[in-house]
Amino acid sequence: MSVEATTLAAFGVMIALMLIGIPVAVVMMAVGVGGGLLLYGPSFLQSAAAVVWSVLNDSLLTGIPLFVLLGELLLRSGMADRMYVALAAWLSRIPGGLLHTNIGCCALFAATSGSSVATAATVGTVALPALSARKYPIRESLGSLAAGGTLGILIPPSVNMIVYGSLTQNSIGKLFMAGVIPGLLLTFCFMGYIFAASLWRGERRQESVPPLADRLRLLIHLVPPLAIFGIIMGSIYLGIATATESAALGVVAALLLAWLSGRLSLALLRKCFVQSAKISGMVLLIIVSAFVLNLLVSLSGVAGHLTKWVTSFGLSSVEMLLLLIAFYLLLGMFMDAMSMLVATVPITYTLVTAMGVDPIWYGIFIILMCEMALISPPVGMNLFVVQGVRPDKGGIDDVAWGVLPYLVIMILFTCLLMVFPGLATWLPQTV
Amino acid sequence: MARIERILADLFGFVFLLLSFFVAVEAIARKLFNVSLQGADELGGYALAVGSTLSFTLAVIGRNHIRVDVLHELLPHRVQALLNWLSSVMLAGLAILIVTICLAVVNDSIAYKSTAPTPWATPLIWPQSIWYAGMIGFAVCAVGYAVRATLLFASGRIATLNDMFQPKSTKEELRDELADFAERNRASKGSAS
């Protein structure tokens, strides 16, 4: 069997094992170690062991537990809960009303937290009763929440970006920078769609807002998330801190804010510790396995073989990226975003960078693919989360239909990014 | 188990809070006084090494290690049980594999008296021995769960097995989040009144 066929077969087996529900980390480690033993014998194990230690001793990845802990602190201390009221006071006058608040709140939440379950659960629980009381169409409401929840991994800080950066040895600071403009732009695209759809339906739904003095007073609830975001991105942009150090600064600031709000307690800290340890554990074990698999990929040179094979078809980089969009859309229907990222990036990264695609730009592309995976039916995670918080008893197809326009927007947005790569690559170059 | 979970989580949190304070002080000192304590990076690496092993163990206890559950719920209960058992045993296998192969890393550090290539020149065996102990803890925990799954599977208690070892669903995660949200709400109403 040719190298290409063996690789594709191994990849197929790996995805199949994941789909029947064997733990993702176990599958990748098994394929990595199994392949390594077959090709290189027991000496592969020694190299694998060195990889395990070096990954778990890599201060770049220390950012993962720190950012997760930061998000937990902001969430559990209740700082994020109060944002909705404040944003609703400012945004709901735009045609489309409270739907804008959903997107805005998700985006702001995203800037401090990485958990889309927590984002959708918190924003959804506050928003849905208000939305249904004001008789907003249910599909639009659910769609805006599920789609808004995906912004979290594009707007930095983002654990997915750290994983991409460490797998491909790209600067995490630069990736964070690269996510800012696309993140904001996609947020505006979502809001623009709500605005346009609202006008097109001719319902011009606007909410009355409280007087200016009240609105100004409510702004205080936006200070904590914006301050944390400012500290993280500011310290990276000004070169004061690396991405990992900025996470540590964020944790200290979050502790301070929680203490100022009178919510800091041992019980709160303990809850944050348990949650962040569990989330970090599941991400880090997958990363360890991915790196062992990566070792096999680079030793055996399969990525190079595949690249030669694929380029022999004479595809341009644009055609390649369009193919990848289709590939990731398909994969994303069945796999969760993080598993999809670690299982595919070692191969696809080599492929597209060999064709001259910018590594940082491709990071943003991959994150967009992950976002789509979160909301593409039948198993996008955000669909289930939003379905789980809705107060009425409709079927999940409401969420799937509601989210469809956003999925189309994301695909178009990815194409826009292909036409104007500078949207992602400009800001990191200014550092 | 709840107690072990709490102790491990406390340790995990302690490690990363300590690291955060150290890094924050270091960054401020570097910027304002141009003094570098150095070693923030190095310390970060060790914190990750130790913290990660704790987190692996906690993720075993909490069933957090990611499993794709798209097909799982559609399968007959017996097949679900088989897959749950297999997953548990394979996870233990992974932990044992890591512990076995990483012994060489620790042994090398002892044999060559390796030190970190940093200003601190930390003897690597210090952080590595704690890390390795943590890995053993992870393996012991994973094996314990695998033995339990095996006993349940062998004695045909499929319902209990599926209950204890099924992939953590989004539904469950959401239920926890909603409970926590309700609690936060109560707390904020309580403090406001």
For residues B133 and B53, give the distance between their C-alpha atoms in angstroms, rounded to a whole number.
Answer: 9
pLDDT at B193 > cutoff 50: no
Q: Do B72 and A21 touch (CB under 8 A)?
A: yes
Closest CA to A166 of A88, A80, A52, A60: A60
Closest alpha carbon within chain B to A55 = B49
pLDDT band for position A205 (cuts 50, 70, 90): low
> What's the pLDDT at A402?
93
The yes-or-no verdict on residue A77 having pLDDT over 60 is yes
Residues of B in contact with A238 (CB under 8 A): none
**Cα–Cα distance measured from residue A157 to residue A71, given in angstroms and rounded to the nearest whole number:** 10
Alpha carbon of A342: minimum distance to chain B alpha carbons (Å): 12
Quick: pLDDT tens for A10-22: 889 998 998 888 9
Q: Which of residues 128-157 of B touch A (CB under 8 A)?
A: 128, 131
Q: What is the pLDDT of residues B18-45, one digit of tens each?
A: 999 999 998 888 888 877 777 788 899 9
- Please report, as a single letter, which amino acid is at residue A209: V
Least confident range from A120-129, A255-264, A422-431: namely A120-129
Closest C-alpha to A107, from A230, A165, A191:
A191
What residues contact A118, with CB distance under 8 A and at least 6 apart? A71, A75, B177
pLDDT of residue A108: 82
pLDDT value at residue A327: 93
- Count of positions (residues) in chain A: 431
Reported as a pLDDT band with limits 50, 70 and 90, residue A204 is low
- For residue B101, what pLDDT is reported? 94
Residue A214 CB-density burial (10 A; 0-12 exposed, 13-18 middle, 19+ buried): exposed
The pLDDT assigned to B189 comes to: 67
> Which residue type sits at B78?
R
Decide if B25 touches A, using CB distance below 8 A. Answer: no
CB contact under 8 A, A46 and B104: yes
**pLDDT tens-digit series, residues B94-115:** 999 999 999 999 999 999 988 8
- Arithmetic mean of pLDDT, A359-373: 95
Give Cβ neighbours of residue A38 (< 8 Å, ≥ 6 apart).
none
Write the pLDDT tens digit of every residue in A280-339.
998 999 999 999 999 998 898 888 888 888 888 888 899 999 999 999 999 888 888 888
CA end-to-end span of chain A: 48
Q: Tokens standing for B48?
A: 């990750």
% of chain B surpassing 70 pLDDT: 96
Q: Average model confidence (pLDDT) for chain A?
A: 89
pLDDT, tens only, A252-283? 999 999 999 888 999 999 999 998 999 899 89
The verdict on B163 touching A (C-beta cutoff 8 Å) is: no
User: Of B55, B131, B184, which is closest to A280 when you measure between CB atoms?
Assistant: B55
| A66–B65 CB contact, under 8 Å | no
In angstroms, the CA B119 to CA A416 distance is 47
Residue of B nearest to A49 (CA): B102
B58 chain-A contacts, CB cut-off 8 A: 274, 277-278, 281
Q: Which residues of A touch B44 (CB under 8 A)?
A: 59, 62, 244, 248
The amino acid that residue B158 corresponds to is: I
Asked if the C-beta of B186 comes within 8 angstroms of chain A's C-beta atoms, the answer is no
With a cut of 70, say whether residue A193 has pLDDT above it.
yes
For B94, the closest of A29, A65, A122 (CB atoms) is A29
Q: Is the pLDDT confidence value at B192 over 60?
A: no
pLDDT tens-digit map of B43-73: 999 999 999 999 999 999 999 888 887 788 8
